[in-house]
């Protein structure tokens, strides 16, 4: 297989684009395309301060690498979740993130959930009874809360996450299976800043997970290869595997699934949005972050419940 750009030996074949590239052209093509997506979806400008949520995984480290190569002002945020799983998962992912930052001379903010609130994510999950025995929903809630808080506290214009197309397609697949119209209408590459919520962007949303893996390997980025110990059997992983089986026989089907959804959503033809008054958003009585709940936001209620339970 030959590189489409130089005719040399190809390293990565992207069947959905009917294009193979050599290593050198592939690691140039990824930032070029990222720049195109940033502009297409009006994600942010070179003057704005970007906070990249980095987990130590391939996607977020690749995103930080790409934004830095493109010359954006991008700092990192690592959230210590206190997940061990017999493989020192959080410690190892923090080590890899910190090493990446140091090697590239980048600024990394680290927040440890346990030090901040008194409980690691698995403990908080046990105490709060959220998520039916799996800490994933508590983890997601805590990450959203903390990422927003820190982005605003530290004065960043935008919060960037490393969600790739497979992540987006899996969420879309799940929400379509259940016709969760509220969630479907919320899914997009950019969530604008409003009512105390920082702008959130997903610059990698059009790259396959396979491409981000190839990019990380080609760039020599050392990332945490072990899955989160709690990911085993996760619904999102099952959806990704299912979509990959479809992709295997119909190259490009994941990309089409996601892009046609964005088109339909943009055109307003997907669902008729309700004229009903939006839920009232107001500051949480404790942390001040926006919430539609009557008094405290979901996160603060969870922490209060945990504090009450543990006395």
Per CB under 8 A, residues contacting other proteins are 1, 10-13, 20, 23, 57-59, 136, 166-167, 170, 209-210, 212-214, 217-218, 225, 227-228, 230-231, 234, 236-237, 240-241, 244-245, 247-248
Tell which residue, 162, 61, 158, 77, has the closest CA to residue 113: 77
Nearest to other proteins of 63, 212 (CB atom): 212
Q: What ranges in 219-297 are assigned the alpha helix state H?
A: 235-249, 253-267
Q: Identify the three-state secondary structure at position 195.
A: coil
CB of 167 to other proteins, least distance (A): 7
* Minimal distance, residue 141 CB to other proteins, in Å: 14
Q: In whole angstroms, how close is the CB of 40 to other proteins at the nearest point?
A: 25
Q: Which two tokens stand for residue 2?
A: 């030959």
Instruction: Count the neighbouring beta carbons within 10 Å of the beta carbon of residue 234.
Output: 15
State the minimum distance, in angstroms, from the CB of residue 71 to other proteins: 26
Element (H, E) at 52: strand 49-53
Minimum Å distance from CB 213 to other proteins? 4
C-alpha 20/C-alpha 22 separation (Å) is 7
CA distance 78 to 230: 19
Residue 129 vs 225, nearer CB to other proteins: 225
From the CB of 275, what's the least distance to other proteins, in Å? Answer: 36
Q: Per DSSP, what are the bridge partners of residue 84? A: none
CB atoms under 10 Å from CB of 281, counted, come to 12
Q: Which sign does the torsion angle of CA 243, 249, 254, 256 carry?
A: negative
Task: State which residue, 237 or 287, has the beta carbon closest to other proteins.
Answer: 237
Distances (CA, A) of 290 to 146, 192, 275: 12, 14, 22
Beta carbon nearer to other proteins, 164 or 289 = 164
235/307 with CB nearer other proteins: 235
Q: Which two tokens stand for residue 310?
A: 């543990």
CB 211 within 8 A of CB 14: yes
How far is Cα 21 from Cα 19, in angstroms, rounded to an integer? 7
Which residue, 61 or 303, is less far from other proteins as judged by CB? 61
Q: In the complex, what is the shortest distance from the CB of residue 9 to other proteins, in angstroms, rounded to a whole number?
A: 9
Smallest gap, in angstroms, from Cβ of residue 122 to other proteins?
13
In order of 72, 83, 120, the CA distances from 231 in angstroms are 32, 12, 17
Q: Closer CB to other proteins, residue 63 or residue 284?
A: 63
Contact 253, 246 (CB under 8 A): yes
Decide whether 171 or 300 has the Cβ nearer to other proteins.
Answer: 171
State how far the Cα of 60 lies from the Cα of 96, in Å rounded to an integer.
Answer: 12
């Amino acid at each position: 297989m030959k590189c489409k750009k130089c005719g040399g030996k190809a390293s990565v074949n992207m069947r959905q684009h009917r294009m193979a590239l050599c290593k050198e052209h592939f690691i140039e093509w990824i930032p070029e395309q990222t720049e195109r997506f940033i502009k297409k979806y009006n994600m942010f400008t070179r003057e704005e301060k970007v906070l990249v949520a980095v987990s130590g995984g391939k996607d977020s480290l690749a995103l930080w690498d790409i934004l830095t190569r493109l010359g954006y002002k991008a700092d990192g945020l690592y959230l210590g979740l206190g997940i061990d799983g017999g493989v020192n998962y959080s410690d190892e992912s923090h080590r890899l993130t910190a090493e990446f930052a140091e090697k590239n001379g980048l600024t990394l903010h680290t927040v440890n959930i346990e030090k901040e609130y008194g409980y690691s994510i698995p403990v908080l999950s046990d105490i709060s009874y959220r998520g039916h025995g799996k800490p994933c929903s508590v983890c997601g809630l805590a990450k959203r809360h903390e990422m927003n808080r820190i982005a605003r506290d530290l004065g960043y214009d935008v919060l960037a996450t490393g969600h790739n197309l497979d992540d987006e397609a899996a969420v879309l697949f799940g929400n379509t299976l259940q016709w969760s119209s509220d969630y479907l209408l919320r899914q997009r590459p950019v969530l604008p800043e409003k009512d105390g919520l920082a702008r959130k962007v997903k610059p990698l949303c059009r790259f396959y997970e396979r491409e981000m893996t190839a990019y990380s390997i080609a760039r020599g980025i050392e990332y945490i290869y072990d899955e989160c110990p709690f990911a085993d059997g996760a619904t999102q992983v099952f959806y990704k595997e299912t979509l990959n089986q479809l992709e295997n026989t119909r190259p490009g089907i994941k990309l089409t699934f996601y892009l046609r959804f964005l088109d339909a959503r943009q055109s307003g033809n997907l669902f008729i949005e309700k004229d009903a008054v939006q839920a009232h958003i107001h500051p949480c009585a404790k942390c001040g972050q926006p919430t539609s709940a009557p008094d405290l936001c979901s996160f603060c209620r969870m922490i209060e419940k945990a504090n009450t339970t543990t006395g």
